[in-house]
Amino acid sequence: MTYLKPKFHHPDLPKNKLGYTRKYYEGSLSTLCAGCGHDSISAAIVEACFELNIEPHKVAKMSGIGCSSKTPAYFLSNSHGFNSVHGRMPSVATGANLANRDLLYLGVSGDGDSASIGMGQFVHVIRRNLNMVYIVMNNGCYGLTKGQDSATADVGSKNKSGNINQFEGIDLCGLAIELGATFVAQSFSGDKAQLVPLLQAAMSHEGFALVNVLSPCVTFNNNTGSTKSYDYVREHLEATASVDFVPYAEEITTQYEEGETKSIQLHDGSWLELHKLAQGWNPEDKISAINALQNARKHHEILTGLIYLDTDNKELHDLMNTTDVPLNKLTQDVLCPGLEVLESINADLR
């Protein structure tokens, strides 16, 4: 019986610039169902952090409740974490971020945690443009309570017991763009070639970054007739563009024909290279992004890749003009600047 991962690793495992192997970014052995899409997303997060040379102790993993929200135990064992109340991850993440803006906040949530019980929190964290990566592991059902339809289940999708969903599914990406999200991407757990660069870009983005990942529930929502099964998603994928993430200070080497490629520079100096752009789609134009989403829906396609990106934005700290230094690093002389400063403030208020 195995509940522990063997400690041995491949002797030739590559190391990143910090001298860490992927092993250092892994977590404990997953207790999710065998074949769960969420495990692939965990592996993609490991890969993205490894390749970005992120120091694990500079990451905070935030989650709510659900299968998805269990996953922070399965990646980045050496990072900080907070497993919060159901649907309340955004407010805990907001508090943590305001207290210490030096960490990378990885929020992990599910379709129930975000689109049902946590919808109120979800929309407001977007509205406030909190600087975080918000990953939704979206399987269209409540896996932890035996597979009832969730709010992101598509109309007409058949669940495991044969019931057809009658309600309109919530499109998290469309909603996020509407609410002013500054980075919106959609991907599939079974397509790491696309998911990993998207996660890297989201981690490099300053402001709120939503990555909605379709992640089949092998146990309750992988049946024929489901629109979130491995087979259905693979058959209906339609990428906006293929994505390459080029880290800061590395040269762009690939060459594509003009008009087919778009390079977008992110805040930290890294580049996002998009190739073979979908027709009439401009990732920096909100209206064209919404059109692309609506068109895909009309044709029963699942649009993946980067959908919308606004690099010219102000995140919550900038909007609120807060201190640049994490609260725990503020020394007494800064916190209590003395009578003179107090008097000048008071004078301003008179």
Partner 1 sequence: MEPTNVNDPEYYHKVVDCQHACPAHTPVPEYIRLIAAEKYTEAYMINWESNVFPGVLGRTCDRPCEPACRRGRVEEEPVAICRLKRVAADFKGEVKALMPKAPQQKNGQKIAVIGGGPAALTVCRDLAPLGYEIHLYDEQSKGGGMMRSQIPSFRLPAEVLDEEVNYILDMGIDAHFNTYVSSLQQILDKSYDAVFVGTGAPRGKDLKDLPGRQEGAANIHIGIEWLASVAFEHTHKIGKKVIVLGGGNTAMDCCRTSRRLGGEDVKVIVRSPFSEMKASPWEIEDALHEDIPILDNHVPKQFVIKDGKLAGMLFEKVKAVYDDQGKRTLVSTGEADVFYEADDVLVAIGQENSFPWIEASCGINFNKWGVPELKEPIFQSSNEKVFFGGDASLGPKNVITAVAQGHQAAISIHLFCQGKPLTERPAPGTNLVSTKMGIHEWSYENDVATDIRYIVPQADKALTLKDRKKEVELGFDVKTAFKEAQRCLNCDVQTVFTASKCIECDACMDICPTNCITFTHNGEESELRTRLFVPAKNLSQDLLVSPTLATGKVMVKDEDVCLHCGLCAERCPTAAWDMQQFFYNVTKAYQ
Give 309's contacts (C-beta < 8 A, 6+ positions apart).
Answer: 182, 183, 184, 205, 264, 272, 283, 284
Minimum Å gap between C-beta 40 and partner 1 is 5
Q: Which amino acid is at 320?
A: M
- Smallest CA-to-CA distance from 221 within 275, 284, 169, 287 is with 169
325 binds partner 1 (CB under 8 A): no
40 binds partner 1 (CB under 8 A): yes
Interface with partner 1 (CB under 8 A), residue total: 35
For residue 323, give both structure tokens. Answer: 């201190």
Minimum Å gap between C-beta 8 and partner 1 is 5
Kindly tell me which residue out of 190, 223, 236, 317 binds partner 1, with binding defined by CB under 8 A.
190
Minimum Å gap between C-beta 143 and partner 1 is 13
Residue 98, number of CB atoms within 10 A of its CB? 16
Applying CB under 8 A, which part among 11-19, 83-91, 128-136, 144-152 lies near partner 1?
A: 11-19
Name the residue nearer to partner 1 (CB basis): 30 or 204: 30
280 binds partner 1 (CB under 8 A): no
| H or E segment to which residue 109 belongs | strand 104-110
Name the residue nearer to partner 1 (CB basis): 39 or 149: 39
Q: DSSP assignment, residue 326? A: -
Binding mask 228-267 for partner 1 (x = CB under 8 A): --xx--x---------------------------------
347 binds partner 1 (CB under 8 A): no
19 binds partner 1 (CB under 8 A): no
Minimum Å gap between C-beta 230 and partner 1 is 5
Q: Which amino acid is at 305?
A: G
DSSP codes joined into one string, 195-264: HHHHHHHHHH-SSEEEEEEE---TTTS-STT-TTSHHHHHHHEEESSEEEEE-TT--------TTT-EEE
Task: Please say whether the dihedral angle defined by the alpha carbons of residues 222, 135, 61 and 50, taken in this order, is positive or negative.
Answer: positive
276 binds partner 1 (CB under 8 A): no
15 binds partner 1 (CB under 8 A): no
Task: Give the 3-state secondary structure of residue 158.
Answer: strand
Give 130's contacts (C-beta < 8 A, 6+ positions apart).
Answer: 90, 93, 94, 97, 105, 208, 315, 316
Kindly tell me which residue out of 20, 24, 27, 37 binds partner 1, with binding defined by CB under 8 A.
37
Kindly tell me which residue out of 13, 99, 341, 345 binds partner 1, with binding defined by CB under 8 A.
13
The answer to whether 292 and 278 have CB atoms below 8 angstroms apart is yes
Minimum Å gap between C-beta 138 and partner 1 is 16
335 binds partner 1 (CB under 8 A): no
Minimum Å gap between C-beta 151 and partner 1 is 24
4 binds partner 1 (CB under 8 A): yes
Say which residue the tokens 């709120």 belong to.
208
Rounded Cα gap, residues 103 and 114, in angstroms: 22
224 binds partner 1 (CB under 8 A): no
Give 239's contacts (C-beta < 8 A, 6+ positions apart).
Answer: 194, 278, 303, 304, 305
Name the residue nearer to partner 1 (CB basis): 34 or 249: 34
Applying CB under 8 A, which part among 161-169, 227-235, 252-260, 339-347 lies near partner 1?
A: 227-235
| Region 197-216 residues binding partner 1, contact defined as CB under 8 A | 216
22 binds partner 1 (CB under 8 A): yes
Rounded Cα gap, residues 243 and 93, in angstroms: 28
Chain contacts with partner 1 (rule: CB under 8 A):
1-14, 22, 29-30, 33-37, 39-40, 42-43, 189-190, 192, 216, 218, 222, 230-231, 234
